[in-house]
Structure 1
Amino acid sequence: MIFVESGSRKVIPRILENIKTKKFVLVHGEGFGAWCWYKNIALLEESGLVPIAVDLTGSGIDLTDINNVATLTEYSKPLIDFLEKLAEDEKVILVGHSSGGACISYALEHFPDKISKAVYVCATMISDGQRAFDVFAEELGSAQLFSSDSKSLIYGNGKDKPPTGFVFEKQHMHGLYFNQTPAKDVALAMVSMRGIPLGPMMEKMSLSAEKYGNGRRFYIQTLDDRALSPDVQEKLVRDNPPQGVFKIKGSDHCPFFSKPQSLHKILIEIAQIP
Structure 2
Amino acid sequence: MSENTEVKERVAKPKWLRVKLPVGKKYTELRGLVDKYKLNTICTSGSCPNMGECWGEGTATFMILGNTCTRSCGFCGVKTGKPDTVEWDEPEKVARSIKLMSIKHAVVTSVDRDDLKDGGSIIWVETVKAIRRANPTTTLETLIPDFQGIEKNIDRLIAVAPEVISHNLETVRRLTREVRIQAKYDRSLEVLKYLKDNGQKRTKSGIMLGLGETEEEVIETLHDLAKAKVDIVTIGQYLQPSKKHLPVKEFITPEQFEKYKKIGLDLGFRHVESGALVRSSYKAQKHLE
Question: With structure 2 as the length reference, what TM-score do the two structures score?
Answer: 0.41
Question: With structure 1 as the length reference, what TM-score do the two structures score?
Answer: 0.43
> Which has the higher Rg, Structure 1 or Structure 2?
2
